[in-house]
Protein backbone atom coordinates (compact mmCIF):
# COMPACT_ATOMS: atom_id res chain seq x y z
CA UNK A 1 0.00 0.00 0.00
CA UNK A 2 1.27 3.43 -0.83
CA UNK A 3 2.21 5.51 2.14
CA UNK A 4 0.72 8.92 2.55
CA UNK A 5 4.01 10.50 1.50
CA UNK A 6 4.24 8.61 -1.78
CA UNK A 7 0.56 9.17 -2.37
CA UNK A 8 1.00 12.92 -2.05
CA UNK A 9 4.21 13.02 -4.01
CA UNK A 10 2.73 11.07 -6.87
CA UNK A 11 -0.51 12.94 -7.20
CA UNK A 12 -1.87 16.40 -6.76
CA UNK A 13 -3.24 17.81 -3.57
CA UNK A 14 -6.27 19.99 -3.57
CA UNK A 15 -8.15 22.22 -1.24
CA UNK A 16 -11.01 23.58 -3.24
CA UNK A 17 -12.27 22.17 -6.47
CA UNK A 18 -13.26 25.09 -8.60
CA UNK A 19 -15.14 25.42 -11.86
CA UNK A 20 -15.79 22.11 -13.48
CA UNK A 21 -15.21 20.05 -10.40
CA UNK A 22 -12.44 18.16 -12.11
CA UNK A 23 -9.90 20.95 -11.86
CA UNK A 24 -7.48 20.64 -9.01
CA UNK A 25 -6.41 23.99 -7.78
CA UNK A 26 -2.92 23.11 -6.72
CA UNK A 27 -0.39 20.74 -8.12
CA UNK A 28 2.34 19.41 -5.90
CA UNK A 29 5.40 18.58 -7.98
CA UNK A 30 6.19 14.88 -7.98
CA UNK A 31 9.87 15.50 -7.29
CA UNK A 32 9.21 17.90 -4.42
CA UNK A 33 7.21 16.21 -1.69
CA UNK A 34 5.64 18.57 0.81
CA UNK A 35 7.93 19.43 3.71
CA UNK A 36 7.47 17.16 6.69
CA UNK A 37 4.93 18.34 9.21
CA UNK A 38 3.16 20.57 6.72
CA UNK A 39 -0.24 19.75 5.37
CA UNK A 40 -2.63 21.19 2.84
CA UNK A 41 -5.92 22.59 4.05
CA UNK A 42 -7.47 20.28 1.48
CA UNK A 43 -6.28 17.33 3.50
CA UNK A 44 -9.00 18.32 5.97
CA UNK A 45 -11.69 20.17 4.04
CA UNK A 46 -12.64 20.56 0.40
CA UNK A 47 -15.48 22.65 -0.95
CA UNK A 48 -17.09 21.38 -4.13
CA UNK A 49 -18.69 23.60 -6.79
CA UNK A 50 -22.18 22.77 -5.50
CA UNK A 51 -21.28 23.99 -2.02
CA UNK A 52 -20.82 20.58 -0.47
CA UNK A 53 -17.99 20.54 2.04
CA UNK A 54 -16.10 17.27 2.17
CA UNK A 55 -14.62 16.74 5.61
CA UNK A 56 -11.67 14.35 5.78
CA UNK A 57 -10.92 12.64 9.06
CA UNK A 58 -9.23 9.46 10.15
CA UNK A 59 -12.05 9.00 12.65
CA UNK A 60 -14.68 6.39 11.86
CA UNK A 61 -18.26 5.96 12.99
CA UNK A 62 -18.77 3.11 15.41
CA UNK A 63 -21.46 4.67 17.48
CA UNK A 64 -19.93 7.73 19.08
CA UNK A 65 -21.26 10.22 16.53
CA UNK A 66 -17.81 11.75 16.00
CA UNK A 67 -18.27 12.57 12.29
CA UNK A 68 -21.62 14.15 13.10
CA UNK A 69 -20.06 16.25 15.86
CA UNK A 70 -17.17 17.30 13.64
CA UNK A 71 -19.63 18.23 10.89
CA UNK A 72 -21.48 20.44 13.37
CA UNK A 73 -18.25 22.27 14.18
CA UNK A 74 -17.44 22.69 10.49
CA UNK A 75 -20.95 23.94 9.68
CA UNK A 76 -20.70 26.54 12.45
CA UNK A 77 -17.19 27.65 11.59
CA UNK A 78 -17.87 28.00 7.88
CA UNK A 79 -21.45 29.20 8.09
CA UNK A 80 -22.81 26.43 5.91
CA UNK A 81 -25.73 24.12 6.56
CA UNK A 82 -25.11 20.92 8.50
CA UNK A 83 -26.56 18.98 5.56
CA UNK A 84 -23.85 20.32 3.26
CA UNK A 85 -21.01 18.83 5.28
CA UNK A 86 -20.11 15.37 4.07
CA UNK A 87 -17.84 13.29 6.31
CA UNK A 88 -15.17 11.33 4.45
CA UNK A 89 -13.99 8.76 6.95
CA UNK A 90 -11.06 6.57 7.72
CA UNK A 91 -9.33 6.21 4.34
CA UNK A 92 -5.66 6.06 5.26
CA UNK A 93 -4.56 7.24 1.80
CA UNK A 94 -6.82 10.27 2.03
CA UNK A 95 -6.80 11.43 5.64
CA UNK A 96 -4.24 12.62 8.16
CA UNK A 97 -3.46 10.03 10.79
CA UNK A 98 -4.62 11.56 14.07
CA UNK A 99 -4.90 8.64 16.42
CA UNK A 100 -8.00 7.07 14.92
CA UNK A 101 -10.70 6.53 17.51
CA UNK A 102 -10.43 5.22 21.05
CA UNK A 103 -11.40 5.90 24.62
CA UNK A 104 -14.10 8.37 23.58
CA UNK A 105 -11.36 10.96 23.02
CA UNK A 106 -12.12 11.75 19.39
CA UNK A 107 -14.54 14.64 19.78
CA UNK A 108 -12.94 15.92 22.97
CA UNK A 109 -9.39 16.07 21.69
CA UNK A 110 -9.71 15.66 17.96
CA UNK A 111 -11.84 18.69 17.20
CA UNK A 112 -9.09 21.33 17.23
CA UNK A 113 -7.57 20.57 13.85
CA UNK A 114 -10.88 20.36 12.02
CA UNK A 115 -12.13 23.58 13.60
CA UNK A 116 -8.89 25.34 12.70
CA UNK A 117 -9.13 24.08 9.14
CA UNK A 118 -12.71 25.32 8.86
CA UNK A 119 -11.82 28.70 10.35
CA UNK A 120 -8.98 29.08 7.86
CA UNK A 121 -11.15 28.05 4.91
CA UNK A 122 -13.73 30.63 5.96
CA UNK A 123 -11.01 33.26 6.26
CA UNK A 124 -9.66 32.50 2.78
CA UNK A 125 -13.11 32.54 1.19
CA UNK A 126 -14.07 35.78 2.93
CA UNK A 127 -10.83 37.42 1.83
CA UNK A 128 -11.72 36.52 -1.76
CA UNK A 129 -15.23 37.87 -1.25
CA UNK A 130 -13.84 41.05 0.28
CA UNK A 131 -11.77 41.65 -2.82
CA UNK A 132 -14.74 41.00 -5.07
CA UNK A 133 -17.17 43.19 -3.16
CA UNK A 134 -14.80 45.88 -1.99
CA UNK A 135 -16.00 45.43 1.57
CA UNK A 136 -13.84 44.32 4.50
CA UNK A 137 -14.34 40.73 5.60
CA UNK A 138 -15.09 41.95 9.10
CA UNK A 139 -18.37 43.34 7.76
CA UNK A 140 -19.51 39.98 6.45
CA UNK A 141 -21.60 37.26 7.96
CA UNK A 142 -22.22 33.91 6.37
CA UNK A 143 -25.41 31.88 6.59
CA UNK A 144 -26.02 28.66 4.67
CA UNK A 145 -23.03 29.37 2.46
CA UNK A 146 -24.27 32.84 1.51
CA UNK A 147 -22.09 35.81 2.41
CA UNK A 148 -24.07 38.84 3.56
CA UNK A 149 -22.69 42.33 4.02
CA UNK A 150 -23.90 43.85 7.24
CA UNK A 151 -25.96 46.99 6.67
CA UNK A 152 -26.45 46.22 3.00
CA UNK A 153 -28.94 43.38 2.48
CA UNK A 154 -28.73 43.69 -1.30
CA UNK A 155 -25.06 42.77 -1.34
CA UNK A 156 -24.63 39.02 -1.18
CA UNK A 157 -22.27 36.47 -2.61
CA UNK A 158 -22.11 32.72 -2.32
CA UNK A 159 -19.02 30.85 -1.18
CA UNK A 160 -19.24 28.98 -4.45
CA UNK A 161 -18.99 32.31 -6.35
CA UNK A 162 -15.49 32.88 -5.01
CA UNK A 163 -14.11 29.36 -5.25
CA UNK A 164 -12.38 30.14 -8.52
CA UNK A 165 -10.67 33.16 -6.97
CA UNK A 166 -8.84 31.00 -4.48
CA UNK A 167 -5.09 31.04 -4.35
CA UNK A 168 -3.17 27.77 -4.65
CA UNK A 169 -3.82 25.28 -1.89
CA UNK A 170 -2.17 26.68 1.22
CA UNK A 171 -0.12 24.52 3.53
CA UNK A 172 0.13 24.87 7.27
CA UNK A 173 2.30 23.36 9.97
CA UNK A 174 0.97 20.19 11.50
CA UNK A 175 1.85 19.80 15.15
CA UNK A 176 1.51 16.94 17.58
CA UNK A 177 0.90 13.26 17.03
CA UNK A 178 -2.03 10.93 17.59
CA UNK A 179 -5.01 12.58 19.22
CA UNK A 180 -2.95 15.74 19.69
CA UNK A 181 -2.52 16.39 15.96
CA UNK A 182 -3.35 20.00 15.24
CA UNK A 183 -3.21 22.33 12.29
CA UNK A 184 -1.64 25.72 12.95
CA UNK A 185 -3.44 28.35 10.89
CA UNK A 186 -3.58 32.15 11.01
CA UNK A 187 -7.36 32.18 11.42
CA UNK A 188 -8.89 31.62 14.83
CA UNK A 189 -11.97 29.46 15.36
CA UNK A 190 -15.07 31.19 16.67
CA UNK A 191 -15.79 31.44 20.35
CA UNK A 192 -17.93 28.45 21.30
CA UNK A 193 -20.62 30.87 22.45
CA UNK A 194 -21.15 31.72 18.78
CA UNK A 195 -21.89 28.12 17.88
CA UNK A 196 -25.49 27.36 16.96
CA UNK A 197 -25.26 23.98 15.23
CA UNK A 198 -22.60 22.46 17.49
CA UNK A 199 -24.24 21.71 20.80
CA UNK A 200 -27.64 21.07 19.28
CA UNK A 201 -29.11 17.60 18.99
CA UNK A 202 -29.12 16.54 15.35
CA UNK A 203 -29.66 13.15 13.73
CA UNK A 204 -26.44 11.24 13.31
CA UNK A 205 -25.24 11.45 9.74
CA UNK A 206 -24.84 7.70 9.46
CA UNK A 207 -28.19 6.74 11.00
CA UNK A 208 -30.49 6.92 7.97
CA UNK A 209 -28.10 4.99 5.74
CA UNK A 210 -27.81 2.28 8.36
CA UNK A 211 -31.56 2.12 8.94
CA UNK A 212 -32.31 1.78 5.24
CA UNK A 213 -29.50 -0.61 4.38
CA UNK A 214 -27.54 1.86 2.27
CA UNK A 215 -24.50 2.26 4.51
CA UNK A 216 -21.50 0.43 3.05
CA UNK A 217 -19.75 -2.04 5.33
CA UNK A 218 -16.59 -4.00 4.63
CA UNK A 219 -18.73 -7.00 3.65
CA UNK A 220 -20.14 -4.89 0.80
CA UNK A 221 -16.72 -4.38 -0.79
CA UNK A 222 -16.38 -6.80 -3.69
CA UNK A 223 -13.39 -6.28 -6.00
CA UNK A 224 -13.54 -8.11 -9.33
CA UNK A 225 -12.43 -11.72 -9.07
CA UNK A 226 -12.68 -11.74 -5.30
CA UNK A 227 -12.48 -15.05 -3.49
CA UNK A 228 -14.13 -15.68 -0.14
CA UNK A 229 -11.93 -17.06 2.61
CA UNK A 230 -12.52 -18.67 5.95
CA UNK A 231 -10.03 -19.41 8.70
CA UNK A 232 -9.99 -22.81 10.28
CA UNK A 233 -9.52 -22.10 13.95
CA UNK A 234 -7.48 -24.27 16.27
CA UNK A 235 -9.56 -26.19 18.81
CA UNK A 236 -7.86 -24.42 21.72
CA UNK A 237 -5.04 -22.13 22.77
CA UNK A 238 -1.50 -23.51 22.75
CA UNK A 239 -1.81 -25.96 19.88
CA UNK A 240 -0.01 -26.19 16.53
CA UNK A 241 -1.33 -27.39 13.21
CA UNK A 242 -0.11 -30.96 12.64
CA UNK A 243 -1.80 -32.00 9.40
CA UNK A 244 -4.39 -30.96 6.83
CA UNK A 245 -6.35 -33.26 4.55
CA UNK A 246 -7.11 -31.32 1.32
CA UNK A 247 -9.19 -34.22 0.03
CA UNK A 248 -11.77 -33.50 2.74
CA UNK A 249 -13.00 -30.43 0.83
CA UNK A 250 -13.12 -32.03 -2.63
CA UNK A 251 -16.47 -31.52 -4.31
CA UNK A 252 -17.38 -28.38 -2.38
CA UNK A 253 -17.61 -25.95 -5.29
CA UNK A 254 -14.13 -24.80 -6.26
CA UNK A 255 -12.97 -24.63 -2.63
CA UNK A 256 -9.28 -25.14 -2.05
CA UNK A 257 -7.07 -25.23 1.00
CA UNK A 258 -4.59 -22.53 1.93
CA UNK A 259 -1.94 -23.67 4.34
CA UNK A 260 0.86 -21.39 5.43
CA UNK A 261 3.03 -22.81 8.22
CA UNK A 262 0.66 -23.23 11.17
CA UNK A 263 -2.27 -21.49 9.49
CA UNK A 264 -5.05 -23.34 7.73
CA UNK A 265 -7.90 -21.83 5.75
CA UNK A 266 -9.98 -22.26 2.64
CA UNK A 267 -10.90 -20.06 -0.32
CA UNK A 268 -13.74 -20.38 -2.80
CA UNK A 269 -15.55 -18.25 -5.36
CA UNK A 270 -18.83 -18.58 -3.47
CA UNK A 271 -18.98 -17.59 0.19
CA UNK A 272 -21.21 -20.52 1.11
CA UNK A 273 -18.69 -22.94 -0.41
CA UNK A 274 -15.96 -21.36 1.73
CA UNK A 275 -18.11 -21.72 4.84
CA UNK A 276 -18.93 -25.35 4.08
CA UNK A 277 -15.32 -26.18 3.21
CA UNK A 278 -14.02 -24.61 6.44
CA UNK A 279 -16.43 -26.79 8.36
CA UNK A 280 -15.53 -29.90 6.38
CA UNK A 281 -11.76 -29.49 6.36
CA UNK A 282 -10.09 -32.23 8.36
CA UNK A 283 -7.19 -31.01 10.45
CA UNK A 284 -5.17 -32.44 13.30
CA UNK A 285 -3.48 -30.39 16.00
CA UNK A 286 -0.79 -31.04 18.55
CA UNK A 287 -1.66 -31.45 22.22
CA UNK A 288 -2.19 -28.09 23.98
CA UNK A 289 0.81 -26.68 25.82
CA UNK A 290 -1.30 -24.07 27.60
CA UNK A 291 -4.74 -24.31 29.12
CA UNK A 292 -7.23 -21.64 30.07
CA UNK A 293 -8.99 -21.56 33.43
CA UNK A 294 -12.43 -23.16 33.46
CA UNK A 295 -15.23 -20.68 32.87
CA UNK A 296 -16.81 -21.42 36.24
CA UNK A 297 -13.55 -20.57 38.04
CA UNK A 298 -12.74 -17.50 35.98
CA UNK A 299 -13.48 -14.97 38.72
CA UNK A 300 -11.36 -16.89 41.28
CA UNK A 301 -8.58 -17.22 38.73
CA UNK A 302 -8.57 -13.47 38.11
CA UNK A 303 -8.45 -12.74 41.87
CA UNK A 304 -5.43 -15.02 42.17
CA UNK A 305 -3.40 -13.08 39.61
CA UNK A 306 -0.79 -10.45 40.56
CA UNK A 307 -2.44 -7.09 41.21
CA UNK A 308 -1.28 -4.07 39.27
CA UNK A 309 -2.30 -0.91 41.08
CA UNK A 310 -3.11 2.08 38.97
CA UNK A 311 -4.03 5.49 40.32
CA UNK A 312 -5.83 7.79 37.90
CA UNK A 313 -6.96 10.49 40.31
CA UNK A 314 -5.49 11.42 43.68
CA UNK A 315 -7.48 14.07 45.44
CA UNK A 316 -7.23 14.78 49.15
CA UNK A 317 -6.17 12.46 51.93
CA UNK A 318 -8.37 9.37 51.79
CA UNK A 319 -6.94 7.71 54.90
CA UNK A 320 -7.34 10.80 57.04
CA UNK A 321 -10.86 11.44 55.79
CA UNK A 322 -12.11 7.93 56.31
CA UNK A 323 -10.27 7.60 59.61
CA UNK A 324 -10.82 4.29 61.32
CA UNK A 325 -14.40 3.86 60.11
CA UNK A 326 -14.79 0.34 58.70
CA UNK A 327 -15.46 0.48 55.01
CA UNK A 328 -15.40 -2.66 52.95
CA UNK A 329 -16.92 -3.66 49.65
CA UNK A 330 -16.18 -6.17 46.96
CA UNK A 331 -16.85 -5.47 43.33
CA UNK A 332 -16.65 -7.96 40.52
CA UNK A 333 -16.36 -6.80 36.97
CA UNK A 334 -17.07 -9.20 34.11
CA UNK A 335 -14.10 -10.08 31.97
CA UNK A 336 -14.31 -7.98 28.83
CA UNK A 337 -12.43 -7.86 25.58
CA UNK A 338 -12.19 -5.41 22.74
CA UNK A 339 -13.52 -6.68 19.45
CA UNK A 340 -14.41 -4.98 16.21
CA UNK A 341 -17.94 -3.86 15.50
CA UNK A 342 -19.94 -5.37 12.67
CA UNK A 343 -19.13 -8.63 10.95
CA UNK A 344 -15.49 -9.62 11.28
CA UNK A 345 -14.37 -9.14 7.69
CA UNK A 346 -11.35 -7.87 5.81
CA UNK A 347 -11.06 -7.45 2.06
CA UNK A 348 -7.64 -7.36 0.45
CA UNK A 349 -7.07 -6.42 -3.18
CA UNK A 350 -3.55 -7.24 -4.35
CA UNK A 351 -2.61 -5.60 -7.64
CA UNK A 352 0.65 -5.02 -9.46
CA UNK A 353 0.63 -1.34 -8.44
CA UNK A 354 -0.21 -1.84 -4.78
CA UNK A 355 -2.36 -3.44 -2.17
CA UNK A 356 -5.62 -2.02 -0.82
CA UNK A 357 -6.99 -3.27 2.48
CA UNK A 358 -10.51 -2.66 3.80
CA UNK A 359 -10.96 -3.69 7.39
CA UNK A 360 -12.98 -3.08 10.52
CA UNK A 361 -11.58 -0.74 13.11
CA UNK B 1 -26.73 2.00 17.95
CA UNK B 2 -23.05 1.65 17.29
CA UNK B 3 -21.97 -0.03 14.06
CA UNK B 4 -25.61 -0.33 13.00
CA UNK B 5 -25.09 -3.41 10.86
CA UNK B 6 -28.09 -5.16 12.42
CA UNK B 7 -30.32 -2.08 12.40
CA UNK B 8 -32.35 -2.73 9.25
CA UNK B 9 -32.88 -6.31 10.45
CA UNK B 10 -34.45 -5.01 13.66
CA UNK B 11 -36.62 -2.59 11.68
CA UNK B 12 -37.82 -5.17 9.15
CA UNK B 13 -38.58 -7.73 11.83
CA UNK B 14 -40.34 -5.19 14.02
CA UNK B 15 -42.38 -3.97 11.05
CA UNK B 16 -43.43 -7.53 10.33
CA UNK B 17 -44.46 -8.03 13.97
CA UNK B 18 -46.43 -4.77 14.06
CA UNK B 19 -48.17 -5.66 10.81
CA UNK B 20 -49.46 -8.85 12.45
CA UNK B 21 -49.86 -7.64 16.01
CA UNK B 22 -51.00 -4.08 16.63
CA UNK B 23 -50.37 -4.08 20.38
CA UNK B 24 -47.64 -6.63 21.12
CA UNK B 25 -46.63 -7.34 24.69
CA UNK B 26 -42.98 -7.01 25.66
CA UNK B 27 -42.77 -10.80 25.70
CA UNK B 28 -44.11 -10.94 22.14
CA UNK B 29 -41.59 -8.31 21.02
CA UNK B 30 -38.74 -10.24 22.62
CA UNK B 31 -39.95 -13.43 20.97
CA UNK B 32 -40.17 -11.79 17.54
CA UNK B 33 -36.76 -10.11 17.76
CA UNK B 34 -35.06 -12.99 19.54
CA UNK B 35 -33.06 -14.20 16.58
CA UNK B 36 -31.31 -10.91 15.85
CA UNK B 37 -27.81 -10.63 17.17
CA UNK B 38 -26.28 -7.30 18.17
CA UNK B 39 -23.11 -6.82 20.15
CA UNK B 40 -23.37 -3.13 20.98
CA UNK B 41 -26.01 -3.63 23.65
CA UNK B 42 -28.78 -1.49 22.19
CA UNK B 43 -31.40 -4.17 22.88
CA UNK B 44 -33.31 -2.43 25.64
CA UNK B 45 -33.58 0.80 23.68
CA UNK B 46 -34.77 -1.20 20.68
CA UNK B 47 -37.50 -2.89 22.75
CA UNK B 48 -38.65 0.55 23.87
CA UNK B 49 -38.59 1.81 20.28
CA UNK B 50 -40.84 -1.02 19.12
CA UNK B 51 -43.26 -0.32 21.95
CA UNK B 52 -43.28 3.36 21.06
CA UNK B 53 -43.81 2.55 17.38
CA UNK B 54 -46.76 0.30 18.28
CA UNK B 55 -48.25 3.07 20.37
CA UNK B 56 -47.79 5.78 17.75
CA UNK B 57 -48.97 3.61 14.86
CA UNK B 58 -52.24 2.78 16.60
CA UNK B 59 -52.81 6.28 17.94
Q: What is the mean pLDDT of residues A191-207?
A: 94
Q: Looking at chain A, which residue has its C-alpha nearest residue B8?
A: A211
- Is A63 within 8 Å of chain B by CB? yes
**Percent of chain A beyond pLDDT 90?**
57
Q: What is the predicted pLDDT for the residue at A190? A: 96
Give per-residue pLDDT as tens, B9-59: 999 999 999 999 999 999 999 999 999 988 888 899 999 999 999 999 988
| Closest CA of chain B from A343, distance in Å | 8
Interface residue of A61, A63, A90 to substitute, partner B, most B CBs within 10 Å = A63
Residue A24 clears pLDDT 50, i.e. is over it: no
Q: Both ends of chain B: CA-CA distance in Å?
A: 26
Please tell me whether the interface predicted TM-score (ipTM) of this complex is above 0.90: no
Residue A349 clears pLDDT 90, i.e. is over it: yes
| Better pLDDT: A20 or A304 | A304
Q: What is the predicted pLDDT for the residue at A178? A: 87
- Is B15 within 8 Å of chain A by CB? no
- Is A208 within 8 Å of chain B by CB? no
Alpha-carbon span A51 to A158, nearest angstrom: 9
Q: Looking at chain A, which residue has its C-alpha nearest residue B39?
A: A341
Q: Which residues of B touch A63 (CB under 8 A)?
A: 1-4, 40
| Closest CA of chain B from A338, distance in Å | 11
Number of other CB atoms surrounding residue A257 within 10 Å:
19
Q: What is the mean pLDDT of residues A294-310?
A: 88
Q: Could you say which of A63, A217, A343 has the minimum Cβ distance to residue B2? A: A63
Q: What is the predicted pLDDT for the residue at A33? A: 47
Q: Residue A207 and residue B4: Cβ atoms within 8 Å? A: yes
Q: Looking at chain A, which residue has its C-alpha nearest residue B3?
A: A62
Establish, for the pair of chains A and B, how many residue pairs have beta carbons separated by less than 8 Å.
33
Q: Could you say which of B4, B11, B39 has the minimum Cβ distance to residue A215? A: B4
Chain-centre distance for alpha carbon A350: 22
Q: What is the predicted pLDDT for the residue at A23? A: 28
Output the pTM of the full model: 0.79
- Is B7 within 8 Å of chain A by CB? yes
**CA distance to A56, A77, A90, A192, A206, per residue, from A87 (Å):** 6, 15, 10, 21, 9
Give the model's confidence band at A17: pLDDT under 50 very low, under 70 low, under 90 confident, else very high. very low
Surface-to-core class of residue A101, CB atoms within 10 Å of its CB (0-12 exposed, 13-18 middle, 19+ buried): buried
Q: Looking at chain B, which residue has its C-alpha nearest residue A341?
A: B3
| Better pLDDT: A154 or A167 | A154
- Is B11 within 8 Å of chain A by CB? yes
| Better pLDDT: A45 or A339 | A45
Alpha-carbon span B41 to B52, nearest angstrom: 19
Q: What is the predicted pLDDT for the residue at A3? A: 37
Q: Residue A339 and residue B11: Cβ atoms within 8 Å? A: no
Q: What is the predicted pLDDT for the residue at A14? A: 29
Alpha-carbon span A169 to A258, nearest angstrom: 48
Q: What is the mean pLDDT of residues A235-258?
A: 96
Alpha-carbon span B28 to A157, nearest angstrom: 58
Residue A21 clears pLDDT 60, i.e. is over it: no
- Is A341 within 8 Å of chain B by CB? yes
Amino acid sequence: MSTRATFLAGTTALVVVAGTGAVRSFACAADAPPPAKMTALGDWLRMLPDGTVEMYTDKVEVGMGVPTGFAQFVADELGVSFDHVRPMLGDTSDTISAGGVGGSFSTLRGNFAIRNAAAEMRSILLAAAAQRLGVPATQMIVTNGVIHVTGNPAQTLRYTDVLSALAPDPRFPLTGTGFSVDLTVPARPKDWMEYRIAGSSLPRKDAAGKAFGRYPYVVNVKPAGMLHGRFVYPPSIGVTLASVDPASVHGIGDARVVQIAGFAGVVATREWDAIRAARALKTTWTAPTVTLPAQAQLADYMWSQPVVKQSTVKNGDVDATLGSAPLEATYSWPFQSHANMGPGCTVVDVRADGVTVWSGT
Amino acid sequence: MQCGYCLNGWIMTAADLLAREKKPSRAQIKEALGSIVCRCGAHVAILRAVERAAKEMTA
